[in-house]
Amino acid sequence: MTIRKFAKSSTIHGKTLDTLVPTALSARANAIVDNPDHVSPGPADWNKNTRVKIGNALTRGITCSTLVLAISVAAALINSRSANAMAYTLDPNATKYFQDFNGLASGLPTGWGVYSAATATSMGIPNTVLSDTGASTTWGSTARGFKDYASVTAGQGASAATQHATADRALGVRQVGPTTEAGFDPGAAFVFQIANTVDLENFQLTFDAMTLDAQGRTTTWLVQYGFGKDPNAFTTVGDPFSGPATFGSEALAFNFGNALNDIDTNVWIRIVTLSPTTGSGNRDSFAIDNFSLTYVPEPTSLAILGLGAAMLIARRRK
């Protein structure tokens, strides 16, 4: 547990400590934190007051108020790094991220992307989801692409009208060839981008794999994770899967162990096919739904939060 992690995870009236100090002070305060003895000249009031307080706090005795200030300012700078607007920020006060894809009509959920031409060492090419406005998104359509499908809950044999009217949606794909040009067979990927997993651990994933139009070919899907702004290395977790052989849904579970614990950069989870379909004939209409990613706070962060609460109580009694 570092000071900035503490500041990012501790809240006062719903705001994290790192947001409680003006950003304008952050760069200068960070310089002090990094190197209290060598700070460039600045506004007189800053140098006379805040700088001295923080410098004293860091090098000699520490009072509650100045420690909180130093923590806040250091964390503010960390947060000012360029962030990918697409990444989803996990709620540190929750223990689960859940996605039902029922809002696909208005676009992919925050953090989600679909890619074609994905490989073992590349994310691939960002693609789009065909909206549920025409025949191309019915289960039996052989049009290539990512789709806003009705979930299996619409029932096997549901008419196009029923599928369209079904509120329970699923994020799917039809991997129509040609193999080398389109990048769907192989190369299709459903991707979830998380801003970071700071102070969180024990990540486990469950989701439903749905075969909505069973055809002769078989696809091998993998669950993988990668790190950073644009990962070029991925690790497979759990077993490959292909979804049900006939119309239906299969509940799958994946345990990340400690691999995703406390990562201070983007964490990517993707469901990807990296090998050509096997068999002959058409490809299935496949979808995922009820994506549930569970996690817990790190025990160390709970202990520090307790310390933070004690500090705040102490401040109020002064």
**Site for Ca ion, rule CB under 5 A:** 100-102, 151, 168, 284, 289
Q: Which is nearer to Ca ion, 48 or 96 (CB)?
A: 96
Give min distance, CB of 194 to Ca ion, in A.
20
Rounded least distance, CB 307 to Ca ion, Å: 42
Task: For the CB of residue 283, give the shortest distance to Ca ion in the complex, in Å.
Answer: 7
CA–CA distances in Å: residue 122 to residues 58, 84, 194, 287: 44, 18, 17, 22
Task: List Cβ neighbours of 248 (8 Å cut-off, separation of 6 or more).
Answer: 152, 156, 210, 211
Q: Closer to Ca ion at the Cβ: 101 or 115?
A: 101
Token pair recorded at residue 294: 């569970």
* CB of 218 vs Ca ion, minimal distance in Å: 5
Rounded to a whole number of angstroms, the CA Rg of the chain reads 24
Task: Tell me the closest approach of the beta carbon of residue 271 to Ca ion, in angstroms.
Answer: 15
In the bound state with Ca ion, the residue whose beta carbon lies nearer, of 11 and 215, is 215
Q: Residue 100 or 264: which CB sits closer to Ca ion?
A: 100
Instruction: State the nearest-atom distance from the C-beta of 211 to Ca ion, in Å.
Output: 7
Residue for token digits 């949606």?
169
Q: Which residue is nearest to Ca ion (CB)?
A: 100
Q: Residue 15 or residue 98: which is nearer to Ca ion going by CB?
A: 98
**Shortest approach of Ca ion to residue 91 CB, angstroms?**
20
Nearer to Ca ion, 16 or 151 (CB): 151
Of 102 and 261, the one with the shorter C-beta distance to Ca ion is 102
- N-terminal to C-terminal alpha carbon distance within the chain: 28
Written as one letter, the residue type at 90 is L
Between residues 124 and 243, which has the closer beta carbon with respect to Ca ion? 243
Q: In the complex, what is the shortest distance from the CB of residue 245 to Ca ion, in angstroms, rounded to a whole number?
A: 6
Task: Report which of 69, 4, 33, 32 is spatially closest to residue 264, judged by C-alpha positions.
Answer: 4
Give the rounded distance of the alpha carbon of 162 from its chain centre: 32
